Chain A
Amino acid sequence: MSTVRDGPRPVDPGPGIGPTLAPEPYTVWSRTQDTRDTATLVLAPSRTGSVPAFEPGQFNMLSVPGRGEVAISISGDPGRPGEWVHTVRSLGLATQAIAGATPGSLLAVRGPYGRGWPVDRAWGKDVVIVAGGVGLAPVRPLILELLRHRDRVGRLEVIYGARTPDDLLYAPELAGWRHRTDARFQVTVDAAGREWYGDVGLVTQRVPDARFDAANTVAFLCGPEIMMRLTAEALESRGVPRPAIWVSLERTMQCGIGLCGHCQLGPYLLCRDGPVLPYADVAPLLRIRGL
């Protein structure tokens, strides 16, 4: 719906637009150190008030006031509304401040933004989820959602890769998932010492082992672009049609509402049109360097 007509002024968008990009206060409820540089925070509203519903794959804008704002995907359980769960890796000043926030401290949060995983497409299908590194964070809500509606999907295959065993997220939960009999979780690392009994290698090398009916499968991928491309190629070579593959893409996001221009990828504003997009639409763009 457009609010611009032929007149000299845009049609009044109406009263009650608050300050653009205004965040809400949240208090850190708990903090778990996942890896050397990554922590998971549970946030509760500082004032009474409800936490908005979200779709798996969406993101929030988070800041420690004064330390800069960043987009962080939502990692919580969609079946447990009332809190935000965010897994944050320290990469710069803003993420350092957020990942280091201790219980009781105050964060500014706005969201949720973007389009998440098309969970609807999974019903009645085999599902393959492939995540690399912190790419597990945006798919955790998806995994939890599918496990909760386990009877509505066919086979459920999750392949998760990290650099080393110490880089695996959600280790206790992952251990629990790996014991499930109604879903298969393959975990692989690029390199490991003797204490590691699991697989070593790239996630793409686990694709041939995954069990699914290619013609009746949807795949959800999240990780570095090169990993997603190679994984998509591996899935396609096993017969998964390209339109059944979805990827979550990453670019800097500053406003989250399609105004600042940072997150462009060709025709897409990833904060508005993504971050989850059909692989069929973005594959030609991902081939081109520096787009």
Chain B
Amino acid sequence: MIEPGSSWVFPRAEFPSLLAGLERAGYRVVGPTVRDGAIVYGTIRSVGDLPEGWTDRQEAGTYRLAKRDDGALFGYNVGPHSWKKYLFPPREQLFTLRRDGSASFEVTPPPDDEPPLAFLGIRACEIAAMRIQDRVFVGGGTPDAGYARRARSRLVVAVQCGQAGGTCFCVSMGTGPAVRAGYDLSLTELIEPGRHDFLVQVGTPEGAGVLADVPMRPATPADLSAGEARVARAAQSMGRTMDTTGVHEVLLRNLESPVWEDVGRRCLACTNCTLACPTCFCHSTEEVPDLSAERVERWRRWDSCFNLSFSELHNGSVRATVPARYRQWLTHKLATWFDQFGSSGCVGCGRCVTWCPVGIDLTAEVRAIRAADARAVPPEGGPAP
């Protein structure tokens, strides 16, 4: 019986039957594809759409694809896209308002005709990010209708990382690389001389359902430990670390640290980091009237705290300077997110580091703030510098 909690193994050659199972269950499968020199998420119709034999090399401000010779389907880390584009689309219609005469109007939601989505290849840090956005959009007092609709029908087919990228620090953030919760199916790609298999752990009945026609055998203890070894290797190869002890207090007692000026002078306020970040949710709403304003559509689009207009009030922007905007972003991610939503706003995926055109690295900025903080607050009993 394919039951939640059970583990199975199927060969790489049977991967198409997993895709067939997803399609038969009515899902539109989205996952990693290669486009314009990067791994981005898109529709997966066949195994050929996956980045077979590709890997990525990431550092602060640099990303490039490279070939690998083992034919791995998931032998890379996260790219510039995140799954949030599916649950929280970059631009989304909220409703249409139609006047009926001059006396009143009707409000209608956009059509709800999208098939449920299967997220194929989602990593541990990305599941953590998705759950953080779940808390923002449906965990609070007023759930967001569109997000809730898409989130409650999604299927999560995770992949455990077998290696880490140059800007990854999920271990520091406690979000990966092992996939421990929040999945329907969790895959681990096992590649050894003479072997290319997938270990699949079943999380839910929905996950079990799509495996019904996949030819597979129960996993042995050896398969399970091979999977664990791969995840352990990823954990040991993190490109970055961040000391999160007391980071909430450290940042909030350093709102006037000289570090903000320093990083703010380097930052271009280009908004790349917020667009790439899988948890950033800030957006703006806008109205699109037809010529007579008889019919008005209200839309939402991604916005960024790095935009001057984001904090605009009638007498100017509250966060007029770039240092103030960088401070808002970083303190929100790592500190005030806890106050607002009960968790960190950062999962350690490294996207903001890789995709910053000037290579600003939040792990380094946190270190700089800690160093300045240590200079300012001498340890108890110690002499002031």
Chain A positions within 8 Å of B, measured between CB atoms, are 2-4, 6-10, 12-13, 17-23, 25, 27, 46-47, 63, 65-69, 91-92, 104-106, 108, 250-252, 254-255, 257-262, 264, 266-269, 272, 288-291
Determine whether B320 belongs to the interface, using a CB cutoff of 8 Å to chain A: yes
The distance from the CB of A109 to the nearest CB of chain B, in whole angstroms, is 11
The distance from the CB of B347 to the nearest CB of chain A, in whole angstroms, is 15
Q: In whole angstroms, how far apart are the Cα atoms of A76 and B285 in the complex?
A: 27
Determine whether B3 belongs to the interface, using a CB cutoff of 8 Å to chain A: no
- For this complex, 27 residue pairs linking A to B, each with C-beta atoms less than 8 Å apart, are A3-B139, A4-B131, A10-B139, A13-B143, A20-B146, A25-B104, A63-B287, A65-B293, A66-B289, A66-B296, A67-B287, A106-B104, A250-B313, A251-B311, A251-B318, A252-B313, A254-B284, A254-B285, A258-B141, A258-B142, A258-B340, A260-B284, A267-B335, A268-B340, A269-B340, A290-B323, A291-B327
Q: Are B318 and A290 touching (Cβ within 8 A)? A: yes
Chain B positions within 8 Å of A, measured between CB atoms, are 94-95, 97, 99, 102-105, 107-110, 127, 131, 134-146, 148, 151-156, 181-184, 203-204, 206, 252, 255-256, 281-287, 289, 293, 296, 298, 300, 303, 305, 310-314, 318-321, 323-324, 327-328, 331-332, 335-336, 339-340, 342
Q: A65-B97, A267-B339 are in contact. Are A10 and B285 (CB under 8 A)?
A: no
Q: In whole angstroms, how far apart are the Cα atoms of A169 and B305 in the complex?
A: 34
Q: Are A8 and B148 touching (Cβ within 8 A)? A: no
Q: In whole angstroms, how far apart are the Cα atoms of A69 and B118 in the complex?
A: 36
Q: A262-B282, A291-B324 are in contact. Are A66 and B293 (CB under 8 A)?
A: yes
The distance from the CB of B340 to the nearest CB of chain A, in whole angstroms, is 6
Q: A9-B151, A27-B103 are in contact. Are A65 and B285 (CB under 8 A)?
A: no
Q: Are B134 and A10 touching (Cβ within 8 A)? A: yes
Q: Are B105 and A261 touching (Cβ within 8 A)? A: no
Q: Are B141 and A264 touching (Cβ within 8 A)? A: no
Q: Are B282 and A261 touching (Cβ within 8 A)? A: yes
Q: A66-B296, A290-B324 are in contact. Are A22 and B95 (CB under 8 A)?
A: yes
The secondary-structure label for the interface of chain B is mixed
B contact residues around A269 at 8 Å (CB): 340
Q: In whole angstroms, how far apart are the Cα atoms of A252 and B137 in the complex?
A: 19
B contact residues around A10 at 8 Å (CB): 134, 138-139, 148, 151-152
A-B pairs with beta carbons under 8 A, tally: 183
Q: Are A288 and B105 touching (Cβ within 8 A)? A: no
Q: In whole angstroms, how far apart are the Cα atoms of A220 and B210 in the complex?
A: 60
B contact residues around A252 at 8 Å (CB): 311-313
Q: Are B107 and A22 touching (Cβ within 8 A)? A: yes
A contact residues around B136 at 8 Å (CB): 259
Q: In whole angstroms, how far apart are the Cα atoms of A290 and B300 in the complex?
A: 26
Q: In whole angstroms, how far apart are the Cα atoms of A267 and B298 in the complex?
A: 28
B contact residues around A17 at 8 Å (CB): 143, 145, 148
Question: Which of B105, B281, B311 makes the CB contact (< 8 A) with A108?
Answer: B105
Q: Are A260 and B283 touching (Cβ within 8 A)? A: yes
Question: Which of A19, A66, A250, A261 makes the CB contact (< 8 A) with B108?
Answer: A19
A contact residues around B143 at 8 Å (CB): 3, 13, 17, 20
Q: Are B283 and A19 touching (Cβ within 8 A)? A: no
B contact residues around A268 at 8 Å (CB): 339-340
Q: Are A19 and B107 touching (Cβ within 8 A)? A: yes
Q: In whole angstroms, how far apart are the Cα atoms of A18 and B94 in the complex?
A: 10
Known A17-B148, A66-B287, A264-B328; further 5 A-B contacts with Cβ < 8 A: A8-B154, A105-B102, A261-B281, A267-B335, A272-B140
Q: Are A257 and B145 touching (Cβ within 8 A)? A: no
Closest to B256 in A: A288
B contact residues around A22 at 8 Å (CB): 94-95, 107, 109
A contact residues around B312 at 8 Å (CB): 252
B contact residues around A106 at 8 Å (CB): 99, 102-105
Closest to B319 in A: A290
B contact residues around A18 at 8 Å (CB): 107, 109, 145
Q: Are B314 and A92 touching (Cβ within 8 A)? A: yes
Q: In whole angstroms, how far apart are the Cα atoms of A22 and B94 in the complex?
A: 8
The distance from the CB of B107 to the nearest CB of chain A, in whole angstroms, is 4
Q: In whole angstroms, how far apart are the Cα atoms of A229 and B107 in the complex?
A: 42
Q: A21-B94, A66-B287, A259-B136 are in contact. Are A13 and B181 (CB under 8 A)?
A: no
B contact residues around A289 at 8 Å (CB): 324
Q: A27-B103, A108-B105, A252-B313 are in contact. Are A19 and B287 (CB under 8 A)?
A: no
The distance from the CB of B298 to the nearest CB of chain A, in whole angstroms, is 7
Q: Are B203 and A259 touching (Cβ within 8 A)? A: no
A contact residues around B283 at 8 Å (CB): 254, 259-261
B contact residues around A291 at 8 Å (CB): 255, 318-319, 324, 327-328
Q: Are B313 and A259 touching (Cβ within 8 A)? A: no
Closest to B323 in A: A290
Q: Are B148 and A7 touching (Cβ within 8 A)? A: no
A contact residues around B151 at 8 Å (CB): 9-10
B contact residues around A27 at 8 Å (CB): 103
Q: In whole angstroms, how far apart are the Cα atoms of A264 and B311 in the complex?
A: 9
Question: Which of B94, B97, B139 makes the CB contact (< 8 A) with A4?
Answer: B139
Question: Which of B102, B109, B127, B296 makes the CB contact (< 8 A) with A19?
Answer: B109
Question: Which of A66, A104, A260, A272 makes the CB contact (< 8 A) with B141?
Answer: A272
Closest to A46 in B: B104
Q: In whole angstroms, how far apart are the Cα atoms of A84 and B298 in the complex?
A: 23
Closest to B338 in A: A267
A contact residues around B289 at 8 Å (CB): 65-67
B contact residues around A69 at 8 Å (CB): 285, 287, 298
B contact residues around A25 at 8 Å (CB): 103-105
Q: Are B203 and A8 touching (Cβ within 8 A)? A: yes
The distance from the CB of A251 to the nearest CB of chain B, in whole angstroms, is 7
Question: Which of B99, B184, B311 makes the CB contact (< 8 A) with A65?
Answer: B99
Question: Which of A13, A19, A266 makes the CB contact (< 8 A) with B336?
Answer: A266
Q: A9-B152, A106-B102 are in contact. Are A20 and B138 (CB under 8 A)?
A: no
Ordered nearest first, which 6 A-B pairs have the shortest CB separation? A66-B289, A267-B339, A290-B324, A261-B282, A66-B293, A19-B109
